[in-house]
Structure 1
Amino acid sequence: MVVARHSTLCSRKAVGVRTLAKSYVGKRLSDVPTPAFLVDKQIVLNNCQNMLKKCAELGIKLRPHVKTHKTEEAALLQTGGQKKCITVSTFREAEFFADCGWDDILLAFPLAPFHIGRAKSLADHISTFHLLVDNVDSATALAKSPIPSGKASWSVFIKVDTGYARAGVRWSDTEMAVAICKALQPSVKLQGLYAHCGDSYHTSSLTEVSAVRNRTAERVVKLGEELVQRGFACPIISIGSTPSMSASVNAEDHKVLQKLNEAHVGNYVFYDLQQASLHSCSLDDVACRVMTRVIGHYPHRKQMLIDCGFTGLTKQGLNANKFVAGYALFENHPNLKLIEMSQEVGKVEGVDGNLDFDQYPVGTELLLYPYHACATASQHPVYYIHKDGLVEEEWKPIRGW
């Protein structure tokens, strides 16, 4: 009875929210309230098709990461229209896509024992749901848990740290990987190894990016071969990051990468200034912008205010690369820089110290390339999909964890 009352109350609140929400489909972008997250669907489609083609040419299955956008619309573009074989970063994402009819979902977040109940609800619901483990305690807890309904076993990948130093078993620690494999038996099936090329974000050239990718591949393949030698089947070797999978592949690289059979990658859907600085893309490949408006002039301090603060953009990227003076790049206005943000407003100055206020009357619309598309997109409850100045669609990302 308590659950029923709570559900009724939630549905009433939802109805109230819907009556206040306004659709801007068919409206001009100038009608959209700011700050607003704008997406060029054709660029998204191009980015997705290019990644699908590249993985096909390498003979690697693409398991796209959906955390950048968290929408079914973009996920379908990533998979070529098939509702299967994706990577998610939160349980909420996994639940959303499962409810939408998706299958073969990998939750790329290290499993802890307190996650298992929620994981079982998901595994009961879809035919193929994979987890990520990187320690014996979690492996042991999972092996002792009831097997999901209709399944022969749980399904996991071992998370491997090949140098990024965030999560995972160290690639050189074969004994730890073996201990995890033993702890998983007999009720958990090991699908393979999963490694994130996160250190590719700390590079300064395409040569360095390729070196990180190849080193990651070599290290995780080596660990996989050692597990096989110790008697543990390890059929899938999966690596990825947008810089590593966007970088070109020469003949020598291909010799390394041909030992892989899966890639997980996500930011390429939108790309951003960070990726442009890493040579993963050009600015023309960046599919998203944040639209903002001028709300005030302050000539005495040579500044103007815009209605985009850190809740519309995040505080990542301050003077972080050659494209950015300040927190973000203003499209078609290279003399502007966003120097400071509070929650809802941003301070803008001229890069050269001068600001022509007559050029930017109050109400002027400005477009910002975000430094980090994943983090910026997560700030917005709706994405405005536009073409020729008109809103064609509204994508609404799943929120929460």
Structure 2
Amino acid sequence: MASSIPLRPLASQSELQAFYIGKDINDVPKPAVILDVAIIRRHCAAMLEATRELGVGFRAHVKTHKTPQIAHLQVGDIPNTPANFVISTVLEGETLLPLFQELFRAGRPVNVLYGIPLVPSQVPRLAHLAKQIAAGSISVMIDHPDQIDHLRGFRDIAGFAAGVFLKVDSGYHRAGLPPDGLNKGGLVEKIITMEKEGVIELIGVYSHNSLSYAGSTLEEGMQFLREEILGCREAIRQHTHLLSARQAKGKELVISVGATPQVVSIKGLLQGGALSPSRHELKALLHQEDSDDIGRITVELHAGVYPILDMQQLSTNTHTGPAEDEIAISVVAEVCSVYNNAERSTPEALIAAGSLALGREPCPSYPGWGVVSEWRRPKGPGRLIVQRISQEHAILGWEKGKGGEEGIPLRVGQSVRIFPNHACVTGALYGWYLVVDSSREGEGEGERVVDVWTRPTGW
């Protein structure tokens, strides 16, 4: 099915590897996007360890990177454990199909959730994808009764039922239904009927609350997570009269919640010593599997940008390390002019990379479009940021207008590394990532390309 969809031409991975591997990132064609696999491995391992210690499920969102290499790191190599994913485009699923098949052959249950309310035209592609993995491998998100009937076509093609998550709006208002409105147009009743017919299998309720992106403390992240779980529990509670037959049979419902800031915040539950009342309540909510009023439930956390991070994520302060240690993605760009001789009110530099290389996403913690790494340049009087941005170029300057007597410590032709505000958008501007490994020993080895990872750029 995937091969019948026209895609933009791309050099083969072997051609890209032959050209790039071994090059210092200063010497590659620019702008280029770089990933540090050492940081990615560390973040992925930390997430798997935290969810294991807390005894909760985990679903890895792949929309940030769209690569099988990072997706595999997100679920690890833990025998017999579920390998659950979220995709935002069907093309992501088709790209990662060999990985899904590999994980299934290794004995791991695989479930891939199409992470936006069901787009009817995508049902055949999803069904063909499911058919190549296994029964129970594909789930969809539902928040309108008109979406459900299209899943009959899924069963006809795949030969088995699609899984279904009901989408709950826990306050973000991007998609989903409020807890008291989950049965919009008889939606829950329709799902129960179609489950009895074998057309679908109800898995649970799903919420994604990116309001946590505006938080600035670990405590706020945990509070957002607590509220999201409570909202999903309330959605189930208000419709137990419709779900009672399932409950009587002991069928479980999954509450899937998260976004990177609140999921990363669970590390606050693993610190030594007595937990505060609010943290104790959150920990209890994560483990409350049986409840008289809502039946058997389990909690599953989902997150996506955490392996890579970006300036926006650092603004939530759920990660406390410096950008150089925490952010795995950077854009290498070239300086094409420097204005240090009073041409302007403050010193500035011009780089040959703009919104089509960096993205144009704001960050709440500073007034810029990217932060320049200290890589291979002298330190200055403050932080060097992307102050203004156009399509193909941008202006660098000192944050808050600090100039210093020596101006911007850059020269024409010099390369800079920029940490973007939003990794998902920045990555989408490129057809491949250049991979470095900062854990490699030897001078300059951590800045040498060790691999090239291609990624899809369509739908």
Please report the TM-score for the alignment, with normalisation by the length of structure 2.
Answer: 0.78
1:153-201 CA distance string (max 9 Å, x none)? 2221111111111111212224335245246442111111111122212
- Using the alignment, how far apart are the partners of 2:52 and 2:262 within structure 1? 16
Check 1:305–1:169 CA distance in 2 against 1; reply closer, same or farther (3 A cut). Answer: same
Letter in 1 for 2:212: S
Q: Which amino acid aligns with 2:171?
A: G
Residues 234, 366 of structure 1: alpha-carbon distance in 2 compared, 3 angstrom cutoff: same
What residue is the counterpart of 1:326 in the other structure?
Answer: 368
Partner residue in 2 for 1:191: 203
Judge conservation of contact 2:217–2:317 (CA < 8 Å) in 1: yes
Q: Select between 306-315 and 279-288 the one with higher mean Cα deviation.
A: 279-288
What is the rounded CA distance, in whole Å, between the counterparts of 1:262 and 1:146 in structure 2? 26
3-state secondary structure, aligned to 2:356: helix
Structure 1 match to 2:326: 285
Q: Over residues 15-49 of structure 1, what are the superposed CA-to-partner deviations in whole Å (9 max), with x where a residue is unaligned?
A: 79987996211111221122221121111111001
Q: Where in structure 2 are there 5+ consecutive unaligned residues?
A: 102-109, 270-278, 289-297, 438-445
Q: Does 1:251 align with 2:280?
A: yes
**Is the partner of 2:392 in helix, strand or coil?**
coil
Aligned to 1:136: 145
Deviation at 1:389, TM superposition (A): 2.0
1:274-321 per-position Cα deviation (integer Å, ceiling 9, x unaligned): 111101213322112112121112442343211211111111126x31
CA contact (8 A) 2:17 2:451 kept: no
Structure 1 position 309 matched with structure 2 position 351: no
How many Å separate the matches in 1 of 2:62 and 2:332?
23
Q: What is the aligned partner in structure 1 of residue 175 from structure 2?
A: 167
Distance 1:141 1:325, change over 3 A: closer
Summarize the alignment of residues 2-401 of structure 1 with structure 2, pairs less than 5 Å apart. 23-81=19-77, 84-102=83-101, 103-127=110-134, 128-143=137-152, 146-151=155-160, 153-176=161-184, 178-182=188-192, 184-185=194-195, 186=197, 187-231=199-243, 232=246, 233-247=251-265, 248-249=268-269, 250-259=279-288, 260-281=298-319, 282-283=321-322, 284-298=325-339, 299=341, 300-301=343-344, 302-317=347-362, 320-321=364-365, 324-332=366-374, 334-351=382-399, 352-354=401-403, 356=406, 359-387=409-437, 388-401=446-459
> How far apart in 1 are the matches of 2:15 and 2:43?
35
Residue 205 (structure 1) shift: 3.0
The size of the alignment, in residue pairs, is 391
Gaps spanning 5+ residues in structure 1: where? none
Shift of 1:100: 4.4
Decide which moves more: 216-225 or 75-84. 75-84
Contact 1:161-1:169 within 8 A present in 2 as well = yes
Percent identical across equivalent pairs? 27
Partner AA of 1:350 in structure 2:
W
Q: Which deviates more, 52-61 or 181-190? A: 181-190
Find the residue that maps to 2:168 and give its secondary structure: strand
Confirm or deny: 8 A CA contact 1:136 1:179 kept in the other structure.
Answer: no
* Residues 276 and 145 of structure 1, relative CA distance in 2, 3 Å threshold: closer
Q: Deviations over 1:347-398 (max 9, x none)?
A: 1223335374673111112121111111111112221211322111111112
Q: Contact between 2:350 and 2:396, CA under 8 Å: does it hold in 1?
A: yes
SS at match of 1:312: helix
Q: CA–CA distance in 2 between the matches of 1:20 and 1:108?
A: 31
